[in-house]
Amino acid sequence: MVGSVPSCETIWGPKEGSQLVRTSKSIWACAKYFQLIRSESLPVMRSLKGEVFSMYQYRSFFNTCRIPGETKDSIARYFKTESEGFCPLHVIVLCNGHIYKMDVFDQNEEQYGSYEILRQLTYIKERSSTKGQGIGVLTADDRTSWAKVYEHLVTLDPSNKKLLDTIQSAIMVASLDSETPQNITQLMTANISGRNCEDRWFDKSLNVVYYESGLLGFIGDHCPYEGLLGTIFNAWGDNLVSRITTDWCGKPDVRTDGSAPQELIFVTDEKVQQAMCHARDTYTKLAGKCDVFCSGFSLYGRVWVKEQGFHPDAWMQLAIQLSYYTRHSKPAPCYETATTRGYYHGRTETIRACTNEMVDWCKAMQNPHATRSERLELMKAAGTMHMIQGSQALDAQGCDRHLLGLYAESLEAGEDTPEIFTDPAFFKCGGAGNFVLSTSLLGYWAGCGGVVPMRDDGYGVYYNLRKQDFYLSIFSFKTCLETSSYELFQEMYRSLVRMQNVVTESKL
């Protein structure tokens, strides 16, 4: 999954020569958030109704990494709270193929200020003028190929295992990237398909990319936690840094003992070099498929929607369905994320947004003979049904996780696959990761994010419901001639206008 930080639209717009200063402040903010979680000082999250949410996923936000396996990957979590004991306190910096271990805390676990972090980053940048090993590219390969070369690296030399452990256990990865995106669409494109795949560690739970233009991007493995945690952190860190009135964050002190970041050099051979070439080819083919478009809708926002008696999330899902129906002349199975963090170790459930009520309303919007009142009533019915399904999903009463559990039980028991999971209707309605529309609410603040579609002919539509405007991040694949992220955005814009007209004209 990828994302941006809100400040890219405000105080941290593109600016030549700002990369290292902004990186130092951002890493300082990351370390501050890490410290809050480690000391168990982060306020407990609650639902809009005030119900307590499980904070378990925060144990996987930092110091976490996916480990490749030939048959199944695993998740390595190195994070511990202060009461549980020691936790790794370093970060990994990738720059021009080089990999460095950098300290952001001293031996007493006192956090370094941004000036000290800047000193270390400058050291790294100056020593990375020539191309490094580029080991990070291996994480961009298909999982089976990466798993095989991972095992080869470990057996090739004992030092390689220690270096991998150092990367995997780090608080986060910071990538100093030479690309120069100038707007949010370019930034998100660089995040998900940028040219410098050697300067990523795609298995890490948190990999922040700091571009030469001064913009910041976010990459994270989606397995350990749901994406909303990333957008919450981005908003928190952005607010923290934007309110600091000094040129530095934290302490202005700089170490004078000559301490320097440690470069990690792997022992490689011809097999590893061939695997790196294969990984780059794999990445280049996949990256070339990605089509991203991000932009805002400024005619109204969630405040106006609520004044009309609609829930903003239901309103946006109405717009998504209408846009797809208008563009493709058919409805599409749609996945929307619902959190189940109201339960112990809860993660997500699926809101199946494409309901009969939604389709009936879309048909009425396309029917020139439908009256204003008919469209409005069908619109209200579709919105109501969406909220009912959403409430059920939040209460863990959806069907998808239940079906997944039954499927997993049948596998573990060695039984034949139940017929429902091989029925064509199961796939057509989105089962087994076949939703044409993959959607999610990213929050009520600035910023954006998302992941690629589940299907080659699908879309990923992710949205921020701000007070006076909306922001959309749309993903598709260039290899499908029927889809276009830009054209879907244009249709979304028209749909939001049409929906406002339905409401306002019915009052005339």
Q: What is the pLDDT of residue 451?
A: 95
Q: What is the pLDDT of residue 508?
A: 67
Q: What is the pLDDT of residue 218?
A: 93
Cβ contact 205:65 at 8 Å: yes
Provide the whole-model pTM.
Answer: 0.95
Q: Which of 222, 328, 345, 402 is catalytic?
A: 222
Cα distance between residue 473 and residue 442, in whole Å: 10
Residue 466 structure tokens: 């701000």
CB proximity list for 313: less than 8 A, separation 6 or greater: 386, 390, 441, 465
Cβ contact 469:274 at 8 Å: no
Distance of alpha carbon 20 from its chain centroid, rounded?
23
DSSP assignments along 295-326, one per residue: EEE-S--HHHHHHTT--HHHHHHHHHHHHHHH
Cα distance between residue 44 and residue 313, in whole Å: 24
Q: What is the pLDDT of residue 432?
A: 92
- Mean pLDDT, 10 residues at a time, over the chain (508 residues)? 90 95 97 97 90 95 98 97 97 98 95 97 98 98 98 98 98 98 97 97 98 96 91 90 92 89 98 98 97 97 97 98 97 96 93 97 97 96 97 94 94 92 94 96 90 97 97 97 98 98 87
Q: What is the pLDDT of residue 228?
A: 87
Whether 152 sits among the annotated catalytic residues: the reply is: no
Q: Across the strands, what pairs with 90?
A: 103
Residue 234 structure tokens: 């981005």
